[in-house]
Structure 1
Amino acid sequence: MTKVLCPTGIEAWLVTRYADVREVLGDQERFSARSGQAGHVLLNQPPGAAVEEGDFNRMDSTDHLRFRRVIAPAITTVKRTELFRPLVQRVVDELLDALAGETGPVDLHARFSTPLTSSVIAELLDVPPEDGVLFHNAARALFDGHVDTEELEAVKVPLYAYVAELVAQRVQEPGEDVISVMAAKAQAADQPLTQLELTKVASGLLAAGYDTTASLITYGILALLRNPDQLALLREDPSAAPNAAEELLRLLSNGSGLMRVATVDTEIAGTRIAAGDYVVVALQSANQDPERFPLPERLDLARPRGAHLAFGHGPHQCPGQHIARLELTTVLATLPRRIPSLRLAVPFEEVPFKKDAAVLGPARLPVAWDEVLPAG
């Protein structure tokens, strides 16, 4: 372990080993989330800012659990995820159908990954797809390392206003969508969520799901194009997609790490940490720890599943991870089969990657192909 100077000027202890990362993320008594998760790379998330009403990602213990009990029934149960499966498959096939008249070059991130995640979110929340620009703008501002708090607030105001109206409507006229389910659970809770709290929860899920999952899908496709033998395995056997998704999540882990703040004088792996010190856990490094994963730098879709940390660990694990897995798995089972000739349209060295952002991966993915095969 070593202390590092982060891009936003914060000094923090960098934790890289798998066991140590799990220890930090699993112990909210010693390492609090009140600092926020990304203040080490995002100017718009200063770790010293006050925790305001509805900021559930910066809460610990029972305060945080109060929100998770509202979120979980809407998006994190196996039953709910299975309900979403036909929807995700339909959106994937429709987007590939729309590409059938072309052969490239096409930016797959803009034409496939991003519209996939935005369309799925719009349908899960039962909102018009054309209103997605609000969510997209919020996500882009939220994860941009150059956007400060004032700029982010300017984007959040119209988003909150829009979502607050949705929440009020779904309370009065509930449906089967995610917001309706959360609203019902929020009202039935021992300590009901306020409208502002529910609005912030729904807004956070909206914004977070846009860029993170789209970038993961694009990054995963690029990794497969760089490993044609592994891509061939999926093309020949779509049933390998679930295991392939876990391996890509482990290998890529496209976030920039998570931040915590020590609440007491403690230590990690023999290094003394003072109360008030910031700690950044490097999920990418933990998921490539050779003590946990043999030949960790290798993409091996047949690798036995292990407990990777791509979605974090402990109480603050990503609540949308099941939806992200479903989207990635559906893509992996469908795209290689329907576009067997998929290939990069530029040399790998010319693929642009995101910089100064909390979510990493290709900014664009130029690809080409010979034909798009029909669904079914």
Structure 2
Amino acid sequence: MHEETPTETADRPMDASPLPGLPVDRPAGCPFAPPAELARHREEQPLRRMTYPDGHVGWLATGYSAVRAILGDQRFSSRYELIHFPLPGPYEGGLPPAPLGDMTGIDAPEHTRYRKLLAGKFTVRRMRQLTDRVEEITGAQLDVMEAQGPSVDLVRAFAQPVPALVICELLGVPTSDREFLQAQTAPLMDLTVSEEERTASYVALQEYVRALVLSKRVEPTDDVLSDLTTSDLSDDELTGVAGFLLAAGLDTTANMIAHGTFALLCHPEQLAALRGDPDLVDGAVEELMRFLSIAQTGVRAALEDVRVDGHLIKAGETVTLSVETANRDPERFPAPDALDLRRAANGHLGFGHGIHQCLGQQLARVEMRVAIAALLTRFPTLRLAVPPDEVPMRNHTNIYGVHALPVTWGAG
């Protein structure tokens, strides 16, 4: 028998009519704020019914307690083929099962098998041992950026190259192939591209990784991918896992570095605090993860009837999880809409929660700490080169952030 959690109580009343869809429009001039309608629903009813584009009537969770409870409960499935997608577009007709190696779209025990093989490669200790190398890569890229300046797109000049070079080195991928791999990864994150374009990019990425896997089996080198060739993973599984790790490493941390820098440049008092106290950087990374929540939305499907926050979610029903509003819940974080680098932001859901919590979170932390601190030290006069409302945002991708971040430095 399942032991009830604190979130499971008697049924609570709810609005009679479901929401007509997932609110996505952010407040004008507020690139860091969640959609205002989502925030309003969190205050009024943090778990409520919602109609999906395919007609399914499921749920929307916007409050911290509900989102965290569902993320941590294995009675809710991550399997793609069981969920209803909350946005109109290529996925509203239903998703196919996750390809081999895609850990985000599978459940235990299959997920457990992959996770156990990979967890030891991304421990806190091992990632901290990488700090010196990350500092070397970051310093070299700052040299390149300085030579290009004094005005650059920070995304292309710094935020993308640093984590890309790190993940390529970690996996044993030739760094000369970085731009090709980033070009194949971008359509996988973009919800506006056609299914044909997305498929073509996926196939190209898989073909590249498969050739790399086969070469590592013949001539292993000192890297994670070579290590994994000694496991019981088949070539198909290893190709899928490597592609999954590569795509994640190329995109998510790059977005946090760029978007985090954007947020700091728009909050000069916080930027000054970080410049004045470099020891703030660890807390700054956690607060930026909470404040920005670039992995803004999750989706789960109930495998059985489950009570959460006083509501009965029935087997087969999909729940959309608004991580960005959960991380702004005033019941969990005081003054949550303020960026406060001195805040104790522990417990944020920026890396997820439960068995699907981000595998590479320790690597991401190291990269962000090093990159942000080094960037601000090298360029003490760094500032936006355009007004904030002219910075192009990634409004239609799985990972929120900036498409480009024009910056400049030197005499104003």
Q: What is the TM-score normalised by the length of structure 2? A: 0.82
**Using a 3 Å threshold, how does the CA distance of structure 1 residues 44 and 124 change in structure 2: closer, same or farther?**
farther
Report what 2:16 is aligned to. none
Are 2:155 and 1:115 equivalent residues in the alignment? no
Distance (whole Å) between structure 1 residues aligned to residue 54 and residue 336 of structure 2:
30
In the TM superposition, what are the counterparts of 1:196-215 in structure 2 within 5 Å? 196-215=236-255
Report what 2:267 is aligned to. 227
- Report if aligned partners of 2:53, 2:92 keep a CA contact under 8 Å in 1: no
Distance (whole Å) between structure 2 residues aligned to residue 157 and residue 62 of structure 1:
27
Distance (whole Å) between structure 1 residues aligned to residue 396 and residue 305 of structure 2:
32
Q: Which secondary structure state, in structure 2, belongs to the residue aligned with residue 106 of structure 1?
A: strand
Structure 2 residue aligned with 1:301, among 337, 341, 346?
Answer: 341
Report what 1:19 is aligned to. 65
CA shift for structure 1 position 308: 0.7
Report what 2:10 is aligned to. none
**Using a 3 Å threshold, how does the CA distance of structure 1 residues 45 and 63 change in structure 2: closer, same or farther?**
farther
Q: Any idea what the Cα deviations from partners look like across 1:43-84, whole Å, max 9, x if unmatched?
A: 35965423454343222122110000111122x212320232
Specify the code of the residue in structure 2 equivalent to 1:144: D
In the TM superposition, what are the counterparts of 1:96-135 in structure 2 within 5 Å? 96-101=142-147, 103-135=149-181
**Using a 3 Å threshold, how does the CA distance of structure 1 residues 227 and 52 change in structure 2: closer, same or farther?**
closer
Distance (whole Å) between structure 2 residues aligned to residue 265 and residue 294 of structure 1:
33
Report what 1:374 is aligned to. none
Q: Which secondary structure state, in structure 2, belongs to the residue aligned with residue 181 of structure 1?
A: helix
Structure 2 residue aligned with 1:164, among 183, 195, 210?
Answer: 210
CA shift for structure 1 position 265: 2.2
Gaps of 5+ in 2: 1-46
Task: Return 204-213 or 160-169, whichever deviates more.
Answer: 160-169
Q: Any idea what the Cα deviations from partners look like across 1:129-172, whole Å, max 9, x if unmatched?
A: 22123421232111110234433221122221221222222233
CA shift for structure 1 position 300: 0.9
Report what 1:260 is aligned to. 300
CA shift for structure 1 position 350: 1.3
Specify the code of the residue in structure 2 equivalent to 1:224: L
Are 2:366 and 1:320 equivalent residues in the alignment? no
In the TM superposition, what are the counterparts of 1:24-173 in structure 2 within 5 Å? 24-28=70-74, 30-35=75-80, 39-41=85-87, 43=90, 47-74=94-121, 76-101=122-147, 103-173=149-219
- Report if aligned partners of 1:9, 1:40 keep a CA contact under 8 Å in 2: no
Are 2:397 and 1:352 equivalent residues in the alignment? no
Specify the code of the residue in structure 1 equivalent to 2:128: E
- Report if aligned partners of 2:185, 2:205 keep a CA contact under 8 Å in 1: no
CA shift for structure 1 position 124: 1.4
**Using a 3 Å threshold, how does the CA distance of structure 1 residues 176 and 290 change in structure 2: closer, same or farther?**
same
Distance (whole Å) between structure 1 residues aligned to residue 55 and residue 197 of structure 2:
19
Distance (whole Å) between structure 2 residues aligned to residue 128 and residue 45 of structure 1:
37
Distance (whole Å) between structure 2 residues aligned to residue 160 and residue 130 of structure 1:
17
Q: Which secondary structure state, in structure 1, belongs to the residue aligned with residue 130 of structure 2?
A: helix
Specify the code of the residue in structure 2 equivalent to 1:196: D
- Report if aligned partners of 1:44, 1:148 keep a CA contact under 8 Å in 2: no
How many residue pairs align between the two structures? 363
Seq. identity, % = 40
Distance (whole Å) between structure 2 residues aligned to residue 91 and residue 280 of structure 1:
38
Are 2:328 and 1:283 equivalent residues in the alignment? no
Q: What is the TM-score normalised by the length of structure 1? A: 0.90
- Report if aligned partners of 2:392, 2:404 keep a CA contact under 8 Å in 1: yes
Report what 1:178 is aligned to. 224
CA shift for structure 1 position 118: 1.6
Specify the code of the residue in structure 2 equivalent to 1:272: L
Q: Which secondary structure state, in structure 1, belongs to the residue aligned with residue 109 of structure 2?
A: helix
Are 2:309 and 1:269 equivalent residues in the alignment? yes
CA shift for structure 1 position 272: 2.4
Specify the code of the residue in structure 2 equivalent to 1:358: N
**Using a 3 Å threshold, how does the CA distance of structure 1 residues 305 and 55 change in structure 2: closer, same or farther?**
closer
Task: Return 229-238 or 305-314, whichever deviates more.
Answer: 229-238
Report what 1:248 is aligned to. 288
Q: Give the root-mean-square deviation of aligned CA atoms.
A: 2.2
Q: Any idea what the Cα deviations from partners look like across 1:6-53, whole Å, max 9, x if unmatched?
A: 57876541111111111101111x210112799434735965423454
**Using a 3 Å threshold, how does the CA distance of structure 1 residues 198 and 270 change in structure 2: closer, same or farther?**
same
Are 2:406 and 1:366 equivalent residues in the alignment? yes
Specify the code of the residue in structure 1 equivalent to 2:103: F
- Report if aligned partners of 1:38, 1:257 keep a CA contact under 8 Å in 2: no
Structure number with the bigger relative contact order (C-alpha 8 A, sep ≥ 6) is: 1
Specify the code of the residue in structure 2 equivalent to 1:154: A
- Report if aligned partners of 2:56, 2:84 keep a CA contact under 8 Å in 1: no
Q: Which secondary structure state, in structure 1, belongs to the residue aligned with residue 339 of structure 2?
A: coil
Distance (whole Å) between structure 2 residues aligned to residue 358 and residue 11 of structure 1:
22
Distance (whole Å) between structure 1 residues aligned to residue 399 and residue 307 of structure 2:
29
